[in-house]
Amino acid sequence: MEAANFSWKKLIQHWLITKILVVMIRLTGITTRVRRVNQEALKTTLKEYGSVIVATWHQNIYFSIWLLQKQELTALISSSEDGEVISAVFDHFCYKAVRGSTTRGGIPALKQLIKLLKDKTSVAITPDGPLGPAEKIQSGVILLAKYTGVPIIPWCYEARHQWRLKSWDKHKIPKPFSAIVESFGEPFHVPKKLLPEDVPVFCEKLETILKELTLKTAEELSSKKH
């Protein structure tokens, strides 16, 4: 009986958290002013390859749900308990999801993503998730690009007014009525013949690109253009 009560409490808690997050995201989404930078890179790459791998830091998940909802992405979401809530929120915004990880023994998830990309379905990944360290690229996203020949599109956003959670990734929560800039990086290609010993080199390259994109996005936000 106690186990059943605990299960019901968990279900109700997850349902309530999901509803709150969905309302918060919608409220923020309809009140913010968004400027997109270099979205042509995504459109051009999609036209050439049919699918892309969108990569962003784990701290960007919350509002990426709103900003990327029209891109027809399948999201890679952790199979952890926290991932249950995240998956439910993504589902409310009509995303499809693959549960698991491309690292730490996540071969099944990697295989699913490879099939999706080869079937011309784009995917979204946080390559420093699900447990960090923050802003450190793990090998899964590089291997995914290597095995499929599909480019990685770096992506990020910055909000003029936001909250920062005290989580390992310092997760960003934009405030309603804030100005936001989202940026798409140029396609990052990984050779199909990339040697295993060179994977860390490409991880570092992508890490640098994402960090630079974040800085440039912050500069765009602070400029008089917005």
Euclidean distance between CA atoms 183 and 85, whole angstroms: 26
Domain ranges of the chain: 2-222
Euclidean distance between CA atoms 211 and 53, whole angstroms: 17
**Quick one: angle between helices 2-31 and 81-92, nearest 10?**
40
Compute the mean pLDDT over every residue in the chain, rounded to the nearest whole number. 92
CA-based Rg of the chain, rounded to a whole angstrom? 18
The CATH T-level fold of domain 2-222 is Cobalt-precorrin-4 Transmethylase; domain 1 (3.40.1010)
What pLDDT does residue 224 have?
Answer: 59
| Token reading at 125 | 């990944």
pLDDT band at 5 (very low <50, low <70, confident <90, very high): low
Residue 194 Cα distances to 48, 78, 122, 142, 202, angstroms: 22, 27, 22, 10, 9
pLDDT per position as a tens digit, 91-134: 999 999 998 876 655 788 899 999 999 999 999 999 998 888 99
Residue 120 Cα distances to 73, 106, 136, angstroms: 11, 22, 27
Give the CA count within 13 Å in the CB-facing half-sphere of 77: 22
Euclidean distance between CA atoms 171 and 205, whole angstroms: 23
pLDDT per position as a tens digit, 150-191: 999 999 999 999 999 999 999 999 999 999 999 999 999 999
Angle at 56 between CA 124 and CA 221, to 5 degrees: 130
Contact 78, 84 (CB under 8 A): no
β-pairing, 179-184 vs 33-37, is parallel
